[in-house]
Structure 1
Amino acid sequence: MKRFAFSQMDVFTGRPGLGNPLAVVHGAVGLSDAEMRRFANWTNLSETSFLLPPDQDGADYKVRIFTPKAELPFAGHPTLGSCHAWLAAGSAPKGDWIVQQCGAGLVRIKRDGARLAFAAPGAVQGDVTAALKARIAAVLGVPEAELLALRQLSERAPCWTGVMLKDRQTLLALKPDFTAMGELEIGVVAPIPGGETDFEVRGFAGDVGGEDPVTGSLNAGLARWLIPAGRAPARYVAAQGTALGRAGRVFVDHDGRDFWIGGESVEVVSGTLTL
């Protein structure tokens, strides 16, 4: 039996119960890949992260991120939640940035008031074929004409396809066919004119059990698409999780070089884990 410090975070919210939960295992040295996978499967959360000492120059810590089914090279809410937990445990960065090592390489994280924000890793985006557009329309249960724009947001896991709808009402009414969706990961966005937030987002993927409450990697991909395309301003706030009774808030800022994806995190559970 091995004992580890444990945190359960709620990410992209400052109020427990309104964001996306994340399990964090501190000091996970000595855990095998199989043990990490088994525990992540047991938590049944969309992601579980394991904090480790870095083995790459320039990194402050290393994180491994698992869904109940597989390991991910990068994910947004585990990045912010893990960093918050690492800092709350008394750790401090070596320099001005906090630098996270993960499967996607080194990721810079900065403090932004009560929030943390990560510089979104680069991603190769691409066009969506007519066949995929037709399939997505069928999965979402809307006419193809209601899909105003589509973009393949990343070529590596998580492989989100971005879809823009005309309004928030249409987005919140979506009832996807998850059986037909199969391996697809679909992120849907719609503008909110004159609201507290600028966009509403929903993320659908089988690996997270259907719909993800709040998704950092999806919002990073959407920012890389919408801002250069002139569909979003350089700074905006996205709401996500509304359809699930959550109130996630994602703060996006493009400073000309980086796409920063930020949000608050709050610790909900802390204690000792025995594995």
Structure 2
Amino acid sequence: MPAPHPFAQVDVFSREPYRGNPVAVILDADDIDEGDMQRIARWTNLSETTFVLTPTDASADYRVRIFTPGGELPFAGHPTLGSARAWLDRGGKPRTPGTVVQECAAGLIELRHEGESLSFAGPPVLRSGDLDESYVAQIADAFGIDRERIIAHQWVDNGPGWAVVRLASSDEVLALEPDFSRIPDAKVGAIGATPDGSPHAFEIRAFVTGVGVREDPVTGSLNASTAQWLISRGEAPERYTVAQGTRLGRAGEVEITSGSGTVWVGGATTVCFRGTAEV
């Protein structure tokens, strides 16, 4: 017989509820097997659904498994923040006040929390360096732009498999109309600087194929590794904000803070639904 599990749907990376990126979170999920986790994630049809479990590492506060409609991820940013918010909202008490330690397939992820805002420490990238020129050309073709409009590019894979290209402006990023048939199985971000005087330093978009979604509304993992890249090149300040989701009618705002060699990625988190999942 199905058993009840605490459930929350959390809006992440927006100060306006229902304008960020939602994640479904099922807590007390130790008795749910992997096949059911994948089936549920396919059914919710969100970019990610997470399952909060008892940690296997004594230094972690909880363990999380992260699923897209198409498969499991070792790490993802907005599910990390949303899972932490749901766990805290359910009465979770971190071992260290003000710090939450999440265990996931990518390892231990440290989070800081203050009020409704949470931030995670960007994990090290698994793959870095320039993209192959043939792949850059493929991305430009899929984006419908001349190759010369891509002014920089990099592997920024911290688990999901991200690559990113930089365009000259946020307007160019917002104008993109990708042909996904030309870039199958890709996870590619596009970032461009906003005009002087804008409330955010950059606009970013995250295009995903092969996992059940086409464009992720607001993406913590991509912003984490892109920030590590840009800050290391001296092309971004140590503190800035990024807008994301504009083309999707969202109002995503990602806060980047860097210090002592760590990039922190944060934003507002709001529990929009609380209830029970029968699994």
Structures share fold, TM-score greater than 0.5: yes
Distance 2:115 2:150 in 1: 37
Distance 1:262 1:112 in 2: 11
Give the 4+ runs in structure 1 shifted more than 4 A.
Answer: none
The alpha carbon displacement at 1:157 in A equals 3.7
Equivalent residue, structure 2, for 1:226: 230
| CA RMSD, 1 decimal | 1.1
Give the match's secondary structure for 1:269: strand
Equivalent residue, structure 2, for 1:34: 35
Equivalent residue, structure 2, for 1:163: 165
| Contact 2:116–2:270, Cα closer than 8 Å, also in 1 | no
Equivalent residue, structure 1, for 2:56: 55
Equivalent residue, structure 2, for 1:235: 239
The alpha carbon displacement at 1:72 in A equals 0.5
Distance 1:190 1:208 in 2: 26
Give the alignment partner of residue 142 of structure 2, picking from 139, 145, 151: 139
Equivalent residue, structure 1, for 2:263: 259
Distance 1:28 1:256 in 2: 36
Q: Report the identity percentage.
A: 43
The alpha carbon displacement at 1:14 in A equals 2.5
TM-score, normalised with respect to structure 2: 0.96
Distance 1:19 1:165 in 2: 24
1:225–1:101 Cα change, 3 Å: same
Equivalent residue, structure 2, for 1:17: 18
Q: Any residues of structure 2 matched to 1:1-275 within 5 Å, and which?
A: 1-96=2-97, 97-123=99-125, 124-154=127-157, 157-192=159-194, 193-206=196-209, 207-275=211-279
TM-score, normalised with respect to structure 1: 0.97
Distance 1:102 1:138 in 2: 36
| Contact 2:16–2:251, Cα closer than 8 Å, also in 1 | no
Q: Unaligned regions of 5+ residues in structure 1, if any?
A: none
Q: Unaligned regions of 5+ residues in structure 2, if any?
A: none
Distance 2:116 2:64 in 1: 22
User: What count of residue pairs does the alignment treat as equivalent?
Assistant: 274
Give the match's secondary structure for 2:138: helix
The alpha carbon displacement at 1:208 in A equals 4.8
Give the match's secondary structure for 1:264: strand
Distance 2:268 2:63 in 1: 21
The alpha carbon displacement at 1:57 in A equals 2.0
Distance 2:153 2:62 in 1: 36
